[in-house]
Structure formats: structure tokens, C-alpha cells
Amino acid sequence: MLKFFSTFLDLIYKKKCYFCGKSKDSVKMCPDCYNELSFEDTNVNRIIDGVNIYTCGIYEKNLQKLIRGLKYHKQKELAYYLAKFMYEYFQKLNLEGSFQVVPVPLHKNRIKKRKYNHMELVSEEFCRLSGFTPNHELIKRVKDTRPQYKLSRQERIKNLSGAFRVDKEKYLHLPILLIDDICTTGSTFEEMITALKKEGITDIICLASSNP
């Protein structure tokens, strides 16, 4: 019933594209704006403690607006488009097998303030597209860290030290795909990899939607 009501409202009040403002397609991101997103090549962006890190695109223009809208402006519907972009890139890697998809967790204080973890929303959409399994319980953020964007690499490392705790009982015995929105220095992935390896979990790859 709610879905019918939502569809009915969409017919009356057409959604406008968050990027160009046009309502012809009645979607949050029209095909024209989505097609302006550019993929990075499929080379490994960096390797951290033996783990390959891939980044899908450059943090600019529509990709920047997509991430910021989802992350800071409560545009939850944009999670689908970010997941689609990441999955289309992931397919180009030609990696075989299934994965458990683990989003970078937020501390409970940040969740309380923001009301949601945008990367959990992306992971759910990514798994719908891929058939993979979301796992939001494996890694918890136990340290309320400062925002990373103004910190140097050394400050980021110190800020994130001990930030994550792994609950090995939640491990699904599948390769892990860690996902995040932006990979700047790689320090967030690095700390998560360290936490996982301390528990003997080593089959990991990382995927970020963008690279500044």
C-alpha cells in the first residue's frame, strides 16, 4: 500500500533530478547526469599490507555531488546510484566468487547525529545488484574519531588508531569486500585491515567510490 501511495505521489509530483533539476524521468539522478560519471581505470590504486585498494572515479562534479548529497544532505535515494556506479566498476575487475560486503562503520554518536550510515545504504543496494551478502555486524567503530578531511596522513593514522573492533563470530567465511565513499590516504582502510588481520581474517579487497 505504501509503495502504491508513493508511486501515486510520484505521478502527481514528479521527482526532479538532484543534479540538473529536470523532472522528465521523475528520478533522483537522470540517465544523462548518471552517464556523466567517469570511471577510473581498473589498475590497483594502492596496496596496503598486501590488500588491493581500488577506486572507481575521481571526486569531482557529479560524483562529488552524489556523495555529498547522500552523506550530508539526507538524499538517501542516491545510495542506489552510488552503488550502481561502484558495482559497474567492480564488474570490470573480473573477480570471481561471492563476497561479504562490509561498509566502513560509523560510531554510534555519529549515527545518532546523522540518523543513518550512508555506506550501509550503499552496501545494501550493492548487494541487491550483485547478489553478494551485506555484513554490517563484523566491524564496529568503537572510537568516536574526528573528521578526517582536515588531517594530515600522520594525524589520520593517530586519529583512527584502535577505532575498529572485529566480532569474529559475525564472520561469514566469505572473502571480504570493504567499501567506502572516498579513499584519500587509505588510512581508514588500513586500520580496518589491521583489525581484521589481528583476528586472522586475510581474504580482503577494498573498494572506494572515489579518489580525490
Per-residue pLDDT tens for 160-209? 888 999 999 999 999 999 999 999 999 999 999 999 999 999 999 999 99
* Topology of domain 37-211, CATH: Rossmann fold (3.40.50)
The reported pLDDT for the residue numbered 6 is 55
Give the whole-angstrom CA distance, residue 58 versus residue 75.
20
Does the pLDDT at position 146 exceed 70? Answer: no
With the C-alpha atoms ordered 59, 61, 62, 65, is the resulting torsion angle positive or negative?
positive
Give the whole-angstrom CA distance, residue 118 versus residue 103.
9
Does the pLDDT at position 148 exceed 80? Answer: no
Q: Are strands 51-58 and 204-211 parallel, antiparallel or unpaired?
A: parallel
- Please list, in sequence order, all residues whose beta carbon lies within 8 angstroms of the beta carbon of residue 169, skipping any fewer than 6 positions away: none
Rounded to 5 degrees, φ, ψ at 192 are -70, -40
Comparing 4-18, 31-45, 76-90, 160-174, which segment has the lowest mean pLDDT? 4-18
Closest alpha carbon to 91 in 42, 35, 34: 42
- Residues forming CATH 3.40.50 domain(s) in the chain: 37-211
The reported pLDDT for the residue numbered 47 is 98
Does the pLDDT at position 44 exceed 80? Answer: yes
